[in-house]
Amino acid sequence: MAQLKILLAHPSLEWLETSAKVLSDSGYEVITADKGKVAQISISQEKFFTAIISEELQSHTGAQVLKFAKSNSTGLTVIFLAEEYEGDKWIKLGAKTVFPLAATIEEIMRTIEGGKNVNELLAGMKRREGVSDEVEVSGEDTEFTKIKIGEFYSSKAVLFDVFIQLNSGKYIKILHAGDTFDQQRIDKYKNDKKIEYLWFKKTDRAKYLKYQAHLTTKIISSEKVPIEMKARFLKNVTSKYVEEVMSEGLKPQIIEQGKQICEQVFQLVDKEKNLAKLLRGYQEFDPTSVDHSYLVTLFTTSIIKQFEWQSQATIETASMACMFHDIGKMKMPERLLEVRPGDMSAEDLELYQNHPVLGAEMVDGNNLINNSVKQIIIQHHEYFDGTGFPFKKKGAKILTLANIIALVDDFVHIMVERKMKPTDALKFILMDPLKVARYNTIIVENFIKIFVEPEKMKIIIPTQ
């Protein structure tokens, strides 16, 4: 994962040194400045995701640097250290959060991280040997999120409370945060009581994601784990991730987590010998929209792999665009989410067709998401023949990566809504000339190739 850069601007060299050490130990790249002027030069030259600026800076005061950052680096998060809070004066000037001058870097970091990392979570948790007793609790169903019981992985200890649902509003807490993870107990629920899902609180989703990210890294690179299991694992992580984005928005750590998931999806696509078999056999038709981003990312990156011009940067851009392509739907009236575009009134259709623009606006100015991602989001429903939306762009006016996503997006909808095998969904598109005309031919050709093992391809393609 590329390191996130943080700017520390503070008059005390001693403070800079100790704080920089703490941050770089946590994986950040740190640039320091002891003068306001130096801080401004750094801000104009480098891309930071957070700047921590002290009011006490000399030669350009902290307030001047804050104003400079606000007008020269949109999207930069500034944490301001001020003598006195003075209402929301600093917030108005562009600071995201204000801390007193005496705040420790650890306190500030908690704001940056939006929580703690897995190691801290594990270290700070009271471990209990064994497991606690079951407790029945009532709670709103909307407070909980579920995961298939067979797909629940954990090690040593669980980081959050785990429940099973008795019926709507009634849950049993079966594992408490800090309990030793008990596979036998999980198996008992699964096999004897035929429990299908485990539940946890939505407020624990960030913990779940951090924990899963940590496990995924191990699982994806292991040769012992079958590809189907890796794919399922990534699907679960991605789905919960998309839920988190939907409820928390594009916070820096959330975006970084997205990049990490994208990298892991690509690692799966890139390294696995049995990829074509996995893609052909893909058979999970969960219609929930949260799985949609995962499927679009998986198939898009598989297609891109077929192109000769693909590079690490292209793949990163494309997979981020896949992950966030429909983020604009968050800003649409909620009732539209349940309706298929084909069944919408003319007015609603117009609102729906604006979601690529809304999405692009949401990532605009976010310095962790590059401009190409934004362009792809805006174009992800444009068609090669000019029949797409929102701008009815045509042919070469459409970015190739956007046209790939348009194809995969249509393909995924057909596959999931009609419960078709991937290869049948592809045939469904190929058999309809009106559909085929929507995509650049070369993209369609490369899409077909992803379902064929590379060694068989040599026999299919005749040599001259």
The residues of the shown chain that bind Fe ion, judged by CB under 5 A, are 326, 409
Q: Output 216 or 300, the one with its CB closest to Fe ion.
A: 300
Q: Least distance (Å) from Fe ion to the CB of residue 420?
A: 17
Q: How far is the CB of 349 from Fe ion (least distance, A)?
A: 13
Q: Which is nearer to Fe ion, 204 or 326 (CB)?
A: 326
- Least separation in angstroms between residue 352's CB and Fe ion is 9
Q: Closest CB to Fe ion among 263 and 326?
A: 326
- Distance of closest approach, residue 12 Cβ to Fe ion, in angstroms: 50
Our CB check for Fe ion shows the closer of 11 and 386 to be 386
Closer to Fe ion at the Cβ: 65 or 290?
A: 290
Task: Write down the least CB distance from residue 424 to Fe ion, Å.
Answer: 20
Shortest CB 340 distance to Fe ion, Å: 12
Nearer to Fe ion, 289 or 314 (CB): 289
Closest distance to Fe ion from the beta carbon of 236 (Å): 19
- Distance CA(365)–CA(118), nearest Å, equals 30
- Judged by beta carbon, residue 55 or residue 410, the one nearer Fe ion is 410
